[in-house]
């Protein structure tokens, strides 16, 4: 699971039939994992009524499908919870490998920038 | 899943059997300077904004297990709103 902040919504009329009732959010991960976040943002389904500006817990892969409505949902990321409060020691996060899956030191929690 | 824009199509005469007849799209993620070759599960085309999902399970559920690509277009975006 990873932490991120909701920064937007997506609307799509033409979508996979199994996604018809899914709410899609755009989330900016707080921690940078490789390689999933080379795109520096995620689109995740949401069952928790998260809104723009909320910090959320995101789950990837099979558990995300389970949360999104079953193993036959064609999704790979889902919001599992809305964070009320976080307590953390930011300096510990500067050490690569401080947590499983983190391959390099975390950058700033900078915004979405256009890559071009 | 990520948000991207379809920037082109891709054709290949010699390709894996699983890709035969599949429409391949070049998708540029909205926030990264890279290109992803995604298989189209809907009917997206260049210029469209799409949501691309990744993984073998997603592939199995949408275009079928024989397809040799794990990035699949699952939605064509009508609008999105980003707060920044």
The pLDDT tens digits of the residues spanning B28-39 come to 998 878 889 999
In CATH, what number is assigned to the domain containing residue A74? 2.40.50.220
Q: Which pLDDT score, from 0 to 100, does residue A97 have?
A: 55
DSSP string, B13-58: SS--GGGTT--EEEEEETTSS--EEEEESS---TT-EEEEEESHHH
The DSSP output letter for B68 is S
- Whole-number pLDDT of residue A85: 85
CB contact under 8 A, A74 and B3: no
The 10s digit of each residue's pLDDT in B43-78 is 899 999 999 999 999 999 999 898 988 999 999 999
Provide the domain limits for residue A33: 2-12+22-84
Low-confidence ranges of chain A (pLDDT < 50): 35-36, 105-116
Q: What is the model's pLDDT at position A35?
A: 46
Looking at residue A108, what is its pLDDT? Answer: 44
Yes or no, beta carbons of A43 and B51 under 8 Å apart = yes
Interface list for B 50-79 with A (CB within 8 A): 51, 53-55, 57-58, 61-62, 72, 74-79
Torsion (CA) A70, A75, A77, A82 in degrees, nearest 10? -60
Domain total in chain A: 1
Residue matched to tokens 């996604």? A19
The pLDDT of residue A51 is 92
| Structural domains of chain B in order of their starting residue, each with its CATH number | 2-76 (2.40.50.220)
Kindly state whether residue A60 falls inside one of the protein's structural domains: yes
Residue A40 lies in a domain: yes
User: Alpha-carbon distance B50 to A90, whole Å?
Assistant: 35
**In this predicted structure, what is the pLDDT of residue B82?**
84
On whether the pTM is more than 0.90, the answer is no
Using one digit for the tens of pLDDT, what is the confidence trace for B3-31?
Answer: 999 999 988 888 888 887 889 999 999 88
**Which residues of chain A neighbour B76 with C-beta distances below 8 Å?**
12-15
- DSSP conformation letters of chain A: -EEEEEEEEEE-SEE-GGGTT-EEEEEEESS--TTGGGGS-EEEEESS---TT-EEEEEESHHHHHHHTSTT---SEEEEEE-S-----GGGGGSTTSSTT--S------------
Q: Determine the pLDDT at residue B48.
A: 94
Q: What is the ipTM of this complex?
A: 0.79
Asked if residue B84 has pLDDT above 70, the reply is no
In a domain, A39, yes or no: yes
Q: Is A51 part of any domain?
A: yes
């Amino acid at each position: 699971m990873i932490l991120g902040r909701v920064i937007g919504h997506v609307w799509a009329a033409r979508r996979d039939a199994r996604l018809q009732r899914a709410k899609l959010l755009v989330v900016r991960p707080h921690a940078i994992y490789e390689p999933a976040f080379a795109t520096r943002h995620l689109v995740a389904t949401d069952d928790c009524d998260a809104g723009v500006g909320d910090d959320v817990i995101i789950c990837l892969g099979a558990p995300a499908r389970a949360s999104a409505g079953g193993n036959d949902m064609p999704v790979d990321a889902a919001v599992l919870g809305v964070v009320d409060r976080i307590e953390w020691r930011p300096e510990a996060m500067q050490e690569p490998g401080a947590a499983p899956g983190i391959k390099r030191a975390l950058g700033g929690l900078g915004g979405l920038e256009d890559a071009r | 899943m990520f948000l991207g824009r379809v920037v082109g199509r891709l054709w290949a005469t010699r390709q894996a059997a699983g890709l035969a007849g599949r429409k391949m799209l070049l998708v540029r993620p909205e926030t990264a300077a890279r290109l992803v070759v995604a298989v189209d599960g809907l009917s997206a085309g260049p210029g469209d904004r799409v949501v691309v999902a990744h993984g073998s399970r997603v592939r199995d559920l949408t275009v079928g297990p024989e397809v040799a690509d794990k990035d699949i277009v699952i939605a064509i975006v009508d609008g999105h709103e980003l707060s920044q």
